Structure 1
């Protein structure tokens, strides 16, 4: 749509000059009950005592005919664009805040939508919202709205809506007015309690199932107002108008000089928190790689120096390379195509050129078939825990849930963080992983867990790290391994940077990058299109672009786009038995996309990281 410039006023005598609604007309377009002081006081009391934080809802908010007309205009006149990032998948309209800047020819096509926006930002209605939420005066000049339609597979992950001067968030729901939206359709608004400020629980504690002409709203409370929109599970459209009320601007009632600046400075957005070290103490699993013994590192250095002298990779030799016994050990797990002299030379050259490798059918047929059968059986015969309280040893739940959520094994003592004291007591408790001890203490019927631990023990072996040294021409200095399981309709990781070990920065030849490996162990098909999510994506960080003004940011969850452009470096779908190796520096972001309910099984993998050095 063609827009006038934001500061351009309607010409005298133009139709827009007469569009302002009188107060009695505004009142008539709302449900009369909202003007009743008793209703307002009761709603205020309910919001003040609501859990997990102050929020409320009103059914049949506005005139039914008006909202039906709005819905029809949206369906016929508004264009939706599918948008997908690490934190959401949604069909979204353009910004509605500047409706008053549209040409009259455009505005005449959206008269009811314009009228709705005018009454939602009218002073008398803002005063009602201000009163029941207890947030103080709200701006009528700084409007902030968009239309979203959630179709099957759409979702919005956990966040707190803290951006700029937002004071109150609201969602006005417009699904099919003639049919009830049912809970099993998905698309509900879910609210999360906090363990401590800025650390939400893994599981929601309240849920609103949206209906036509219902509004949900809450005061934006930095570090507490965490919520998400659960995935829509059916072929239906969950239409809604999302908006925010802001701190009063200069010239408005309730304006306080410096209030907005102080609010913005004191309240860090969710994204900024995740990109800083503010929450590092409260993140589990820890991004900590264990430093390797000195004698191992010196041995890997010697291998690389010998290769450099000889000018080629020697796979088998009696002294510094892999012995026949070591080759036999590797063949117990690795496909022989990746163990030949020719195979290793080819992979070494490819890694030198591209800083990454993708090795399909990495495990040999015997190990692959055995492990696949065990994981398939686990999926079919055992219930997967979906709430943190049900997660049992040796599995843990990754926290906090606005950064990532998945099940994992790390070889350490079991922690589940069900209570505040659990996470707080763990902060100063350092523990090295001991997968051997973990395996010995597991009952024999946990066959999958035992098999996965044995695979990690193979990856931790000196012989495997020798092999890794040959493939990459890099000397490992540290290591970390995780077994991960991403549950359908539940789990994900948001885009984050890698952290380098500060203790190793002084090592000669230290590489300002992390060697990262992901062995896909997902036993089902149907992941290639990406519709079921679960893909692992590496992308260049584009933060060098100018930052948007807070007023221009229209979505609380615009974190990292993953849909197009040159920024995408690797997009690896969930798979069986493909090892992806990536040399990743701090300019490369990585995430695992939320796994949809449509996925046939969980997404499984083994994630590994090594700090590395070059040997000149």
Structure 2
């Protein structure tokens, strides 16, 4: 299922105009509307029958229905519409205006809302799917009451590297809420699991938060998937990895709506999710201690590149920071320190972040005492380093949070309203390997945004410290690392709080 077809803002109810010209009426393939099929499918979808699959009897031309029961029910119908119609639809869509959509959650290309525009094939599809026959069919097979005259529809093209990360489609709009998400696949014949783009379904923990993908549905031409949206329906469109860049994952997706307060049979319980653990927002370290000029000089000379200790250089850095609220310091660590840290990172034991998948997905580590890496981490959250930051930025800092991170292919961080970082001075020491020339196509950059506008993008660079003053309304995320990435992103990420 796709993201919020732009943004999850309220949309007015729409009644589609009748029509379709002289074209033959569009209908579901023979057999799907039969009472015998809808009864069996409903029993399997709601778990009443215990069946894991429901096939038409007899199945014809590859048609049939199936259920993926866990981690939450997802139905799929094969051969759902005439193949010639869908090929005509795809050709018609190809001539429409497409827009690239990219943020922390997704990257793909999409049409405008197809409920508002489109030619003959688009009009036929939306009129039929919004009509009584199809809406009634969806109600019968899922057991969910749906609103009439309300349908969202858009088309997507996922090129190689495109993706949609973990989310649940749970969006309310006034007295209506999304009830059923649907996906009509328009991929080329022969699309395989190796091409990527599968619909990945997340298991959830005891608090209802997503953990990992435990089931996948591979796109298949002329098949339609659907599921109930809500706080248990966490899913993803996995990165498209098809070898041929000319081949794309095409689909038409959207939602059916129903009343917010509905408690129909077949709907999962909509109990409120537990608050996110406070540990997701890293707690501050101990307050930075008193000044020690002689000790500072020794510490700085041990760790920091000599140029950054020169007053003239510090003055230029300060001017740049005051003008731009950010600065990037290349070759920040002493060469010997940087080399020792790189060697120790090779032997570091990494564990998966404990955060839910709709907040972040990466590895983290606690450096061992007595190692260069461990001592460096301690220095970077010390009073001595805080005083160096004051000389570089004019900001008097009092405390800091810190995390040692590693981002491999498929890793990311997302902006989540329940896990927003405190405002402050971001200090991120990039520890990618020195022989890596990071490519923007790999993802993995840190993006700073405000009101959906990108303010700054920082790419991983070996032995580079970025300083960014992030005030209220400015958010950051690490973009999904693509399967094309030839290296891992490693860093020490810190947020410093100013003194009261």
Partner of 1:531: 441
Q: Deviations over 1:318-357 (max 9, x none)?
A: xx6x32x642432222110101122222223333333322
User: Quick one: distance in 1 between partners of 2:305 and 2:13?
Assistant: 66
Name the Cα RMSD after superposition: 3.0
Give runs of ≥4 in structure 1 deviating > 6 Å.
6-10
SS in 2 for 1:471: helix
- Deviation string, structure 1 residues 153-189 (Cα, Å, up to 9, x no partner): 100011111122211000000011xx31110111000
The alpha-carbon deviation at position 242 of structure 1 amounts to 0.6
Q: Conserved in 2, the CA contact under 8 Å of 1:91 and 1:149?
A: yes
Q: Which of 188, 194, 204 lines up with 1:194 in the alignment?
A: 204
CA contact (8 A) 1:491 1:595 kept: yes
Match status 1:349 vs 2:347? no
**Shift of residue 592 of structure 1?**
0.8
**Corresponding position: 1:238 with 2:238:** no
Structure richer in helix, relative to its length = 1
What is aligned with 2:364? 408
- Give 1:197 deviation, angstroms: 5.0
Matching residue within 156, 160, 169 for 2:181: 169
TM-score after normalising by structure 2: 0.82
Q: Alignment partner for residue 124 of structure 1, among 126, 130, 133?
A: 133
Higher strand share: 2
The structure 2 residue matched to 1:360, chosen from 330, 333, 339, is 330
* 8 A Cα contact 1:495 1:589, kept in partner: no
Gaps of 5+ in 2: 1-11, 48-68, 264-271
Q: SS where residue 426 of structure 2 aligns? A: strand
| Structure 2 counterpart of 1:569, from 455, 472, 477 | 455
Contact 1:476 1:612 in 2 (8 A): yes
Provide the C-alpha distance between the structure 2 equivalents of 1:8 and 1:142, rounded to a whole number of angstroms. Answer: 5
The equivalent residue for 2:33 is: 35
Q: Secondary structure at the match of 1:152?
A: coil
The residue number in structure 2 matching 1:545 is none
User: Does the C-alpha gap of structure 1 residues 576 and 149 become closer, same or farther in structure 2, counting only changes over 3 Å?
Assistant: same
Shift of 1:286: 3.4
Partner of 1:59: 78
Is residue 149–residue 240 contact of structure 1 (8 Å, CA) maintained in 2? yes
The offset of 1:605, in angstroms, is: 0.8
Distance in structure 1 (CA, Å) of the matches to 2:135 and 2:15: 24
The alignment's TM-score, normalised by the length of structure 1, stands at: 0.68
1:45 equivalenced with 2:63 (yes/no): no
Distance in 2 (CA, whole Å) between partners of 1:169 and 1:330 is 56
- Quote the Cα distance in structure 2 between the aligned partners of 1:125 and 1:498: 41
Aligned counterparts of 1:517 and 1:582: Cα–Cα separation in 2: 7
Unpaired runs of 5+ residues, structure 1, are: 1-5, 11-15, 100-106, 248-258, 264-272, 301-319, 383-392, 412-434, 441-449, 501-512, 543-560, 562-566
Question: 1:150–1:18: structure 2 CA closer, same or farther, 3 Å change rule?
Answer: closer
Correspondence for 1:587: 473
Question: In the aligned structure 1, how far is the partner of 2:93 from the partner of 2:466?
Answer: 44
Change (3 A) 1:48 1:495: closer
Higher relative contact order (CA 8 A, sep 6+): 1
Change over 3 Å in CA distance of 1:397–1:499 after alignment to 2: closer
Match of 1:555 in 2: none
Residue-pair matches, total = 452
Q: Please state how far the C-alpha of 1:366 moved relative to its aligned partner.
A: 1.7
After TM superposition, list the pairs within 5 Å mapping 1:219-298 onto structure 2. Answer: 219-221=228-230, 223-234=231-242, 235=245, 236-247=247-258, 259-260=259-260, 281-282=276-277, 284-292=279-287, 296=289
